[in-house]
Amino acid sequence: MDYQVKEAEQQAIVYLEGELDMLVGERLGNLIREVGQRNKAILLDFREVTFVDSSGIGSMFFATKDLLASGKHVEIVNIREEVLDILRVLGFTEALKIRVTPLKG
Amino acid sequence: MYQCDQCPDDPTCTYCLSELGAGHMAQKVIPPRRIQLLNLSTGSKISAELRAVSRIALGVFTKQKCPPGRYEIELDTDFRIIGSTVMRYNDSQYQVVDIEKVLRKQEVLDRLLMEEFHLWHLTHELEPSEVTADPSDLKEEQKQMIKRELDKLFILQQIHDIRMFIWKKGIYQPLGEFFLDESCEPDVNRIAERALARKEPIREQLVAQGMDRVFDVHVVPLPKQSCGIAMIDITDMIATERKRQRQEWELYKQVLSIVTEQKLVLLQDVELYELIKASDRRSTIFIGEAADLARVRQAIREVLGACSIAPARLLHFIVAVNEAATNTITHGKAGRVDVYLSEKEHVCRVVVFDQGTGISLSELPQVTLLPGYSTRASLGAGFQVMLSYADRVMLNSSPMGTKIVLELKINQPAAHKMES
């Protein structure tokens, strides 16, 4: 997994890239928590994410849940339809009820 | 009228599940299965739909009258359930049938004979508690002691074959008309000497090879360097337990198959062997750490690359295999993934072998069927992915480990595509 973070005026965009599997571990969750502390809104850009599984987004799930509970805004954007489908099957989107915008193409 | 009218269109409705009283173990049957209820006292038949299943009860929906009583339900040609219904709640068309027993045809006759025997046995049996129930001037402590002794006797009555010996310096004196199998002697000598040295009783299981029997051996040290030995023949008990486990396995297999619309299949070792025999192994990946998962995904892409599979379908199958492979790291010690292709059957089979402790029968429904993101990196979520993205999921679990077979149907065999 690679990433880039752009921050401005309490808003952050996290550009994620690559495969989110077990190897990602706690890194993704820690990144989201850290960025979430500094900002009010966090956009997770999934354009370059080609693979996700339950262990890869496990820490992201709990980090996002905590941020939402503390009143922050978290959103997933530009996610490929086939990757979004995996999040749906995992119950990720249903459990978090966050806004998800698929990639237009 | 009632919530169940919405079934199966409204997936959020859980009316039928909560009525079963089986907590999270209950599952909806989607789409509902048409079944017939045979009233065992009147012989009349009622058409109904099976809408929910749990280990203890079934949920059925019927527009016909369904008076309280015992019913037989045939789920498969050789698989039937006997259950009873209670008074219908609020005139609802939804009916809960409590499972009394599960029958396969060949068993029916045996079961009836056994039941009659038990009934007779119970009416002739002296309950230990009845003996002590008589109010007398025995002290409570004494009563308790007598009850304990009677309970022990009651257990001994159940044992057909118990052999007792007095042991002294390697010489066995039987208390009754039997002998000690020679093949057991060295082991029993060893246990007796250890019991004497430790001054405490020892229990061990021994196989008497000469007799082809298994004994539960109890050795109790006695005064003057001698021991009391009791050998209980547990061969039949083990056989009965194995039979019971096989039956339980079969029951789970059928229920899981029905609930998952034939997508989840439990496999015995032999069946797994037959499946593998029918396919060619194309790749093997050993998994020890998270970094190996990328190699698994790559291997599947390579094997299936030549087949015409829609990219999303291929990605999702890889996600399913990846979940199974991840489990080997999370729950097992080490794992292995074999990728097979059967061109004859037009199917790709990926076998994921997890050398962990295996999944016990009682955990199966929870592990395989609980949906959603329940716990961190949960098996539940992983299985949901496998069931959604593979065309068929087969599971073989033993204390040696768990094997999961994930199948993907392929339209065109790889070889053909390569030629063209």
Q: Which fold has domain A2-102?
A: Transcription Regulator spoIIAA (3.30.750)
CB B325 within 8 A of CB B352: yes
Query: How does pLDDT run across A44-98, given as a tens digit for each residue?
Result: 999 999 999 988 888 899 999 999 999 999 999 999 999 999 999 888 888 888 9
Instruction: Please give the CATH number for the structural domain made up of B3-106.
Output: 2.40.10
Pick the more confident residue, B20 or B77. Answer: B20
Q: Which B residues in the span 157-196 are in contact with A, Cβ-Cβ below 8 Å?
A: none
Chain A residues whose C-beta sits inside 8 Å of any chain B C-beta:
19, 21-23, 25, 50-55, 58, 61-62, 81-82, 85-86, 89-92, 94-95
Which of helix, strand or coil describes residue B419?
Answer: helix
Among B264, B280, B299, smallest CA distance to B369 is for B264
Inter-CA distances, A79 with A52, B211, B343, Å: 11, 68, 35
- Which residue in chain A is spatially nearest to B325 when comparing CA positions? A22
Q: In angstroms, what separates the C-alpha of B287 from chain A's closest C-alpha?
A: 13
Q: Contacts of residue A25 in chain B, CB cutoff 8 Å?
A: 290
Across the interface, whether the CB atoms of B316 and A21 are under 8 A apart is answered no
Q: Contacts of residue B372 in chain A, CB cutoff 8 Å?
A: 90-91, 94-95
CB B411 within 8 A of CB B400: no
Across the interface, whether the CB atoms of B376 and A58 are under 8 A apart is answered yes
B330 touches chain A (CB under 8 A): yes
Q: Contacts of residue B318 in chain A, CB cutoff 8 Å?
A: 51
DSSP states of B242-263: HHHHHHHHHHHHHHHHHHTTT-
Across the interface, whether the CB atoms of B316 and A82 are under 8 A apart is answered yes
Across the interface, whether the CB atoms of A22 and B293 are under 8 A apart is answered yes
B90 vs B2: CA distance, rounded Å: 10
For B357, which DSSP code?
S
Check residue B119 and give its pLDDT.
47
CATH match for B242-419 among 1.20.1250.20, 3.40.50.300, 3.30.565.10, 3.30.1330.10: 3.30.565.10
Across the interface, whether the CB atoms of A58 and B371 are under 8 A apart is answered no
pLDDT at B106 over 60: no
B319 touches chain A (CB under 8 A): yes
B55 vs B400: CA distance, rounded Å: 26
**Structure-token pair, residue B397:** 């679990």
Check residue B272 and give its pLDDT.
83
Across the interface, whether the CB atoms of B290 and A91 are under 8 A apart is answered no
Rounded mean pLDDT, B150-159: 57
Percent of chain B beyond pLDDT 70?
70
Check residue B372 and give its pLDDT.
47
**Residue B204's Cα: distance from chain center in Å?**
27
pLDDT tier at B376 (50, 70, 90 boundaries)? very low
Q: In angstroms, what separates the C-alpha of A72 from chain B's closest C-alpha?
A: 22
Beta bridge partner(s), residue B354: B335, B402
Across the interface, whether the CB atoms of A51 and B376 are under 8 A apart is answered no
Q: In angstroms, what separates the C-alpha of B143 from chain A's closest C-alpha?
A: 59
The owner of tokens 């790709």 is B348
Query: How does pLDDT run across B33-59, given as a tens digit for each residue?
Result: 888 898 888 888 888 888 888 777 888
pLDDT tier at B142 (50, 70, 90 boundaries)? low
Across the interface, whether the CB atoms of B290 and A92 are under 8 A apart is answered no
Bridge-based pairing state of the strands B392-398 and B264-266: parallel
B267 touches chain A (CB under 8 A): no
Which of helix, strand or coil describes residue B241?
Answer: helix
CB B219 within 8 A of CB B227: yes
Nearest-5° angle of CA B401, CA B406, CA B408?
A: 170
Interface size between A and B, measured as CB pairs under 8 A: 73
Among B83, B97, B77, smallest CA distance to B16 is for B97
For domain B162-233, the question of CATH label 2.60.120.10 is answered with no
Domain span(s) for CATH 3.30.450.20 in chain B: 162-233
What's chain A's Rg over C-alpha atoms?
12
Of the candidates A53, A91, A94, the beta carbon closest to that of B319 is on: A53
